[in-house]
Amino acid sequence: MAIGCRDEGPEPSSVQMAVAMVTSLATTSDLTPGLTPGRSAPLGASRSGDGVNFSLYARDATAVELCLFDTVDAAEPSACLPLNAEAHRSGHYWHGWVPGLVPGQHYGYRVHGPDAPSSGLRCDPRHLLLDPYGEALAVPRGYDRSQGQQRGERGWANAIKTVVADLDAYDWQGDRPLNRPAREAIIYELHVKGFTAHPSGGLNPDTAGTYAGLIEKIPYLQDLGITAVELLPVFQFDPQDAPAGLPNYWGYQPISFLVPHHGYSSAWRQDGDALAVLDEFRDMVKALHRAGIEVILDVVFNHTAEAGADGPTFSYRGLANRDYYLLDPADPSRYLDVTGCFNTFNGNNPVVRRLIRHSLRHWVQHFHIDGFRFDLASVLARDESGKPVPRPPILWDLDTDPVLAGTKLIAEAWDAAGLYQVGSFVGDRWQEWNGRFRDDLRRFLKGDGAQVAAVSQRLIGSPDIYGPKQREAEASINFITCHDGFTLADLVSYNHKHNEANGEDNRDGSDDNASWNCGVEGPSSDPEIQALRQRQIRNFLALLMLSAGTPMLGMGDEICRSQAGNNNAYCQDNPISWLDWGLLEQHQDIHRFVRELVTYRQRRDVVVDDRAFSLADLLHRNQISWNGVIPGQPDRSDDSRSLALTLTSTSHRFRCALMVNAWWEPLTFTLPEADFGSQCWHRWIDTTLPSPDDIVPWDQAEPVDQTQVELGPRSVVVLITGHQGLISNSDPATMAANRISS
């Protein structure tokens, strides 16, 4: 039997064990070699002198044991150190200092106390609990979610262990968060594994699907013009939290809020080194920063992998269930669920607020993260009873935190229970995923009626949403697709979701996709159908990149990645979700179209001229003129399927005329005056034309001599004009120089 551990015979009740433990601790603690009271701060495991100080918040505990393990797959601890309530407890904090421990030490906690679910109490010493403030985790090869952290026939051999780490030992070589202005941002949402796992990517199998593999693909992101990657969850999550036999691919089931996911580490794959996971992740961040690319993390603070009342216990439930979760007031054995994931994190409880703040500071200070996108962020606007509150403490904590002052904060401003806060999310500097941009543009280009008025607002930064708060246009994160829903290629290929592979009889995933298959459901060899789909893809991409706000591109949309109509591929860790790099050659024309659009977004005279202006200022200074098929006569009636506008840059150096025909027949537009002296309009974009004529560099734009242009069915045309020399100076080298100088 391991030192200090009891023989695991028939388990007495938790109350009996607690009484016995408290009685024994009074005499045992002083006999435990080297264990001293330590201190309650900081929380977690911290190096102190020639040992480690441990501190744990466990409000409901009557006794706590610190269990030390020699290896990740050890079935039994090498020592269980009982923390004496009299000497090792301060308030609700249990703490102790152990000499001789170094980084790499595996540990966990047993917490004794009342196990009374009807009162919201769930202490159970059979579970080995993770440290919420632990800075590294070791996941055994034989990990089994069905056992959670509960002692089984093999003891705790399959349990995840917390690991002592020294985060100051890494050499950042002068790296720091980039703090790039939001006006420059081109965000690319990607999945670390999905971006690099496909065999067509040409990576070594040891690095495919890992942080190291992402480093190898940085040149692709640079060439595309990406300024920030938004990584799907990389907090340590439960990879088995999915329907039987399927993996959790997306990662929206967090176990820890401080530790990078082990499964994306090539070092962990090779030797299971928990500390090497931290270094590989930081190597990735450092490499992206050297390429001028920011790192934004998709973070999940609204629920955990502990799920509902019958879910596994990893940590929070066994430490302070009533603090960490929203419980049903009528039946505290049940969890309030406004997340769709069976539990809801109690974000405005002081204990949880501190953990969330600590987590974000931790990722900024120790991993140099540039920003965070908050999954179902509106959950954090609810109080401890689950009701929305006008000034949620946690959101103002983050909005005003000095450590996070230069960090991008992006909200998915809704939750699964119907709280929709796009445009009204609390705080002064939050950006928001603009779900209305996605929905309105989808319906408009699909050909639905009564959409022109709404789309007109989306193209100019959604002033109807953000204008009342005097927000800058960049507050709107504009997107057409993301991980959740159809890819762009599927958006124009399927009318209905096809999620049979998820094992839920196609019941999962949204039924409201505002998609259109262009006449045939799924793949088609009909040249006309293919051409129409390609044109629609160009239409979406053009409006996304030309709209005021911050554009976000979904992984692989630039090369027509498909998921075969699956709009909820959260459990598809296979080629359905992975990026097939062979598509790059197959769809070079769409890839080139995106690159040219990004080049425009990054022009110095586009992003720099507009600095320091609010959205209202931009709308006034840019002299936006609304047109229809006739200049100055916009048609926003329910029957209209077209719109046009003329926009002059703030410096009055160039002017763009945007015309969109979402109708299924050609339309003739009369052109507004080109102005700028006697210069004429030049055709920059025409989505009806084949590549490379669909979009051209400004210096190659053909003059338009007519006073009218005909737009083909379902097409976008953009004309430009500018002062002498502006268009001729738009070669790629000049663009690159402008990008660097700005």
**pLDDT value at residue 619:** 58
Instruction: Name the catalytic one among 230, 238, 241, 375.
Output: 375
Q: How close are the terminal C-alpha atoms of the chain, in Å? A: 66
Residue 609 has pLDDT above 60, yes or no: no
Whether omega for the bond prior to residue 390 falls within 30 degrees of 0, making it cis, is no
**pLDDT value at residue 148:** 82
Q: Are 681 and 704 in contact (CB under 8 A)?
A: yes
Which position has the token pair 């999962």? 508
Residue 737 has pLDDT above 50, yes or no: no
Alpha carbons 211 and 263: distance in angstroms, whole number = 10
**pLDDT value at residue 734:** 42
pTM: 0.93
170 contact partners, CB below 8 Å, separation of at least 6: 278, 279, 282
Read off the pLDDT of residues 696-725 as tens digits, 9 standing for 90 and up.
998 899 999 999 999 999 999 999 998 655
> Which contacts of 1-6 are long-range, i.e. CB under 8 A and separated by 24 or more positions?
1/76, 2/76, 2/77, 2/78, 2/79, 2/80, 3/78, 3/79, 3/80, 4/28, 4/32, 4/65, 4/79, 4/80, 4/81, 4/82, 5/67, 5/76, 5/77, 5/79, 5/80
Taking residues 490-495, what's their average pLDDT? 98
Which parts of 125-176 are beta strand (E)? 137-138, 161-163
Residue 472 has pLDDT above 60, yes or no: yes
Torsion of CA 520, 524, 530, 533, to 10 degrees: 40
**pLDDT value at residue 366:** 98
Residue 607 has pLDDT above 70, yes or no: no
> Secondary structure of 418-449 in the HEC alphabet?
CCECCCCCCCCCCEEECHHHHHHHHHHHHCCC
494 contact partners, CB below 8 Å, separation of at least 6: 486, 513, 515, 517, 521, 522, 565
Which of the 8 DSSP states describes residue 479? E
Q: Domains in the chain, start-ordered, CATH in brackets? A: 14-169 (2.60.40.10), 186-231+256-297+387-605 (3.20.20.80), 616-741 (2.60.40.1180)
Tokens linked to 554 = 């979904």
Residue 739 has pLDDT above 80, yes or no: no
**Average model confidence (pLDDT) for the chain?**
91
Helix (H, G, I), strand (E, B) or coil at 119: helix
**pLDDT value at residue 653:** 78
Residue 741 has pLDDT above 50, yes or no: no
Confidence at 468, pLDDT banded by 50, 70, 90: confident
Taking residues 113-135, what's their average pLDDT? 97
Q: How far lies 679's CA from each of 210, 348, 646, 682, 722, in Å?
A: 52, 59, 15, 9, 8
Which parts of 58-114 are beta strand (E)? 63-69, 79-83, 89-90, 93-99, 106-112
Active site (annotated) includes residue 412: yes
Tokens linked to 608 = 């720099």
Residue 390 has pLDDT above 70, yes or no: yes
> Secondary structure of 239-272 in the HEC alphabet?
CCCCCCCCCCCCCCCECCCCCECHHHCHHHHHHC
**pLDDT value at residue 223:** 97
How buried is 636 (Cβ within 10 angstroms: 0-12 exposed, 13-18 middle, 19+ buried)?
middle
Taking residues 265-274, what's their average pLDDT? 95
**Secondary structure tally for the chain: helices H, strands E:** 19, 29
**pLDDT value at residue 722:** 84
Instruction: Name the catalytic one among 337, 412, 440, 490.
Output: 412
Which of the 8 DSSP states describes residue 324? H
Torsion-angle region of 471 (φ positive above 0: left; ψ -120 to 50: alpha; else: beta): beta
Active site (annotated) includes residue 639: no
Measured over all CA atoms, what is the biggest interatomic distance in the chain, rounded to whole angstroms?
96
Q: Are 81 and 51 in contact (CB under 8 A)?
A: no
In the chain, the amino acid numbered 601 is: R
Q: Are 211 and 264 in contact (CB under 8 A)?
A: yes
Residue 290 has pLDDT above 70, yes or no: yes
Residue 318 has pLDDT above 60, yes or no: yes
Q: How far is CA 271 from the centre of its chain?
A: 29
Q: Are 419 and 338 in contact (CB under 8 A)?
A: yes
Alpha carbons 614 and 471: distance in angstroms, whole number = 6
Residue 349 has pLDDT above 90, yes or no: yes
**pLDDT value at residue 602:** 82
Read off the pLDDT of residues 100-115 as tens digits, 9 standing for 90 and up.
999 999 999 999 999 9
Alpha carbons 122 and 132: distance in angstroms, whole number = 16
Q: Are 324 and 352 in contact (CB under 8 A)?
A: yes
**pLDDT value at residue 523:** 98
Torsion of CA 424, 427, 431, 437, to 10 degrees: 0
Read off the pLDDT of residues 209-223 as tens digits, 9 standing for 90 and up.
999 999 999 999 999
Confidence at 289, pLDDT banded by 50, 70, 90: very high
Residue 241 has pLDDT above 50, yes or no: yes
Read off the pLDDT of residues 436-448 as tens digits, 9 standing for 90 and up.
999 999 999 999 9
Q: What percent of the chain has pLDDT over 90?
A: 83
Residue 515 has pLDDT above 60, yes or no: yes
Taking residues 548-555, what's their average pLDDT? 96
Alpha carbons 330 and 457: distance in angstroms, whole number = 45
Tokens linked to 428 = 């002064």
Q: Are 442 and 510 in contact (CB under 8 A)?
A: no
Does an H or E element contain 599, and which? helix 588-601
Residue 24 has pLDDT above 70, yes or no: no
Residue 598 has pLDDT above 50, yes or no: yes
